Structure formats: C-alpha cells, structure tokens
Structure 1
C-alpha cells in the first residue's frame, strides 16, 4: 500500500481552490452518513443542507471534480464518496505521528476515526522518559530522542503536535528536518515553517473566545431590545398621563 511519503493529494495539480478543498471533508462526512443508511442518490439541495452550505456553492465545488449529477436524479452517493476520497488522498495509507502524549495527545491517539478516514497512527512520541514503552490506545509511547528514526522508518509525512507551547517550535523544526511536510498543530502558538510545509492550526481556546464574542453580542442585542421595549411602554404611560379624564388632551389655560 502506498504511503504519504511518495504520494500527494491530486487537488493542487487540478487547480481546485483552497476554499473548495476545505469543504470537501464536510461533503464526505454527509455522504458517508447517507451511505451508511444505504441511500443511493442525493439531490444537491439535500446534500448542501446536510453539509451546512448552500446548494449553488456545492454544485460549483463539485464542478471542479468533474461531477455534475443527473437532472431529476441527483448525485450517486457511493461514487461521490469514492471521488472525494480520491481527491483528498484518502484512498491511500497516511502514516501519522503524534508528538506530545499528555491529556490531549492521548485523546487523539484514542480517536477511532483515523483508520476509517485513511490515516494510521504510526507512532506516539513524548519527551517524558517515564512514558516510554507505556501503551496508549494499544501503541507504545516512544521517546523524542528517536523522533528522526521513527519518521524515516515509517515514511511519515504528516505530524501532529500536541505539546505545550514552549516546546512546539522545536518539535516542528525536528519534524520538518526529518521530512515531515504537513503538520496539524494543537499547541497554542504560531509555528514558523519553510515553504513547502503546510500547517493547520487547531486552537480550542480561540474557538471558545469567538463563541464568547457572539454570546456577548447576542446578550447586548437582547438588552437593547428590552430597553427599547421599556422605553416604548414608558412613553405610552406618559402620554396617557397627559390626557384628561376622558382621554382628551386637556386644553391649555391662558396665562
């Protein structure tokens, strides 16, 4: 079986925009769910709703793959699963190393979705000598002293960094020097890499902060709406108080 060392996904050579590439996993997830339910075909509207995009954008994305569906029938689910998997490079084996086996690294190692999506955890690596040899998710942890050898022996081109921020750049440099060309970074820091190396950053605290912003804005809008409603009510009360006993505005008495 081919490894990530010798093969790259076909998307770049075919000129598929990065925004489209970022949406392909969303389509694949929705299609996989349909496939598991033995759904044979799906319309662009149904698939777009399941993926959380609009149908016009979905049809444009699929046009880059050369897939246009059949009028009145829709898209063949199984064929699209294969086609998108091929474009993403998921029809081959991608050995991955995870560096940093703390709580987060251990959770990633135990994630069961890697194998079904074309990825194989080839090694777990940590700087703590007390972890060396201990199994996590059935894989013995290896020491960072052996990082370069592990990369070479397993033909690894994708590395996952789950270390503390202070150690992330050094680990990144060693991964790149050993031949890793794609990095998924969970460390709360920005990594500097040379041209030709792709980095995807996952920062849970930033995502939570963005959600906090939206919650604060919604709370502010609700407060403003409540204040506006109270002002309208107060205005109506004042207007009623200015009226006479029969509801008429009292005449202004001459000075």
Structure 2
C-alpha cells in the first residue's frame, strides 16, 4: 500500500472549492452507513438529509467530482464511496504521529476509527521520560528526542498535537522542520506555520462557548415570549494566571 508521503490528494489542483472539500467527509460518512446496510442506490434528497445539507448543494458538490447520478435511480452508493475516498486520499495509507500522550492524546490513540478511514498511527510521542516504552492502545510511547527520526523513517506527513498550549508551537516547528505538511492541533493556542503547511484546529472549549451562546439566546427568546426576561448569567472574572498559560479562551475561533 502506498504511503502518504508518496502521493497527495489532487483536490486543490482540480479546482474543488474548500467548502466542498469540507463537506466530502460528511457525504462519505453517510454513504458508508448506507453501504454497511447494503443499500445499492440513494437519491440526492436522501443523501443530503443524511449528511445535513440541502440537495442542491450536494448536487453542486458532486458535479466537481464528475458524478451526476442517474435520473429516477439516484447515485450508486459503492461507486460514490470509492470516488469520494479517492478524492480525499483515503485509498492509501497515511501514517500519523500523535505528540502529547496525556488524557486527550491517549484517547485519540485509542480511537478505533483511524484505521478504517485510511490513517495509521505510526507513533505516539511524549516529552515525559517516564512515559517512554509504556504501551498506549498497544503502541509503545516514544520520547520526543526520537521525533525527527520517526517522521523520516515512517514517511509521516500528518502530525497531531495534543500537548499543553505552551509546548505546542515548539512541537509544531519541529514537525514542520522534519517534513510534516499537515497538522491537526488540539492545543488551545494558534499555531504559526509557513506557507504550504495546513493546520486544522480543534478547540472543544470554543465549541462549548458557541453552544452556550445559542442556549442563552434561546432562553432569552423563551423568556420574552413568556413574560419577564431572566437575569443574565453571572460572568466570572478571573486573574491572569487562572487557566493554561494565563489565557482566557476566546469566544470565537481564530
């Protein structure tokens, strides 16, 4: 099986919009569920509903792939699974390193969905010497001193950062210098990377804050329709050293 370093997806060179690329995994997840139920074909309306988008947007997205379906029949499920998997680069093996094996890093290492989606955890890396050699999800943790050699020997092009915020940029710099060109960042900080390196940021606290905003708005609307508005929730102020690196999480993602 080819490694991730040898071949890279051609979505950008083919002119597929980033918004469409972001929706392809949603379609693939819905199609995979249909395939597991041995459903042979699906209409654009059914697939759009399963993916949480409107059918017109789905048909537009699929037109970039050259897939238009058959009137009265719909889309061939197995063919679309293959087509989208190929477009996303999931028909090949992508070795991944996870740096930072605390609670979050260990949970990611134990996630069983990587292998079935074209990703192989090549190594687990941590700066704590006492972690070296300890198995997590059946993989022995290695010290950060081995990072560059692991990336080189395994042809790694995707790195996952699950370290504390204060260590994330240094880890990022080392990953990039060693040849990693795509990073999934779970650390609560914004990373600076050179052109040609893609970063996807996952910040659970930000997502919760956005949900809190919507909950507060819904509560206000209910209060307005039912009578007097409730008092606003108390806002706790905290000193600069409260929380990781003394930072108060931003309300909106960067």
Could you tell me how far 1:231 is from its partner in structure 2? 18
Deviations 1:202-249 (A, max 9, x none): 0000000000000000000001111189999999999x9999999999
Is 1:180 paired with 2:180?
A: yes
How large is the RMSD of aligned CA atoms in angstroms? Answer: 15.6
CA separation in 1, counterparts of 2:189 and 2:233? 51
Unaligned runs of 5+ residues in structure 1 are none
CA contact (8 A) 1:243 1:250 kept: no
CA separation in 1, counterparts of 2:18 and 2:155? 26
Task: Tell me: CA distance 1:70–1:127, structure 2 relative to 1, closer, same or farther (3 Å).
Answer: same
Task: Tell me: CA distance 1:231–1:59, structure 2 relative to 1, closer, same or farther (3 Å).
Answer: same
Provide the aligned length of Structure 1 versus Structure 2.
254
CA separation in 2, counterparts of 1:198 and 1:98? 16
| Comparing 39-48 and 3-12, the one that deviates more | 3-12
CA contact (8 A) 1:2 1:93 kept: yes
Task: Tell me: CA distance 1:142–1:241, structure 2 relative to 1, closer, same or farther (3 Å).
Answer: closer
Task: Tell me: CA distance 1:227–1:63, structure 2 relative to 1, closer, same or farther (3 Å).
Answer: same
**Partner SS, residue 235 of structure 2:** helix
Could you tell me how far 1:7 is from its partner in structure 2? 1.1
Unaligned runs of 5+ residues in structure 2 are none
Query: With structure 2 as the length reference, what TM-score do the two structures score?
Result: 0.89
Q: Which has the larger radius of gyration?
A: 1
CA contact (8 A) 1:242 1:249 kept: no
Give every structure 1 segment of 4 or more consecutive aligned residues whose post-TM-superposition deviation is greater than 3 Å.
228-238, 240-255
CA separation in 1, counterparts of 2:9 and 2:2? 12
CA contact (8 A) 1:5 1:155 kept: yes
CA contact (8 A) 2:220 2:230 kept: no
CA separation in 1, counterparts of 2:122 and 2:240? 79
Task: Tell me: CA distance 1:168–1:245, structure 2 relative to 1, closer, same or farther (3 Å).
Answer: closer
Deviations 1:130-158 (A, max 9, x none): 00000000000000011100100100000
Task: Tell me: CA distance 1:232–1:160, structure 2 relative to 1, closer, same or farther (3 Å).
Answer: closer
Could you tell me how far 1:253 is from its partner in structure 2? 64
CA contact (8 A) 1:69 1:75 kept: yes
Task: Tell me: CA distance 1:63–1:132, structure 2 relative to 1, closer, same or farther (3 Å).
Answer: same
Could you tell me how far 1:181 is from its partner in structure 2? 0.1
Task: Tell me: CA distance 1:177–1:226, structure 2 relative to 1, closer, same or farther (3 Å).
Answer: same
Could you tell me how far 1:6 is from its partner in structure 2? 1.8
Task: Tell me: CA distance 1:64–1:222, structure 2 relative to 1, closer, same or farther (3 Å).
Answer: same
**Partner SS, residue 233 of structure 1:** coil
CA separation in 2, counterparts of 1:247 and 1:17? 38
Deviations 1:177-200 (A, max 9, x none): 000000000000000000000000
Task: Tell me: CA distance 1:70–1:168, structure 2 relative to 1, closer, same or farther (3 Å).
Answer: same
Map 1:197-208 to 2 at 5 A: 197-208=197-208
Query: With structure 1 as the length reference, what TM-score do the two structures score?
Result: 0.89
| Comparing 241-250 and 104-113, the one that deviates more | 241-250
CA separation in 2, counterparts of 1:134 and 1:245? 26
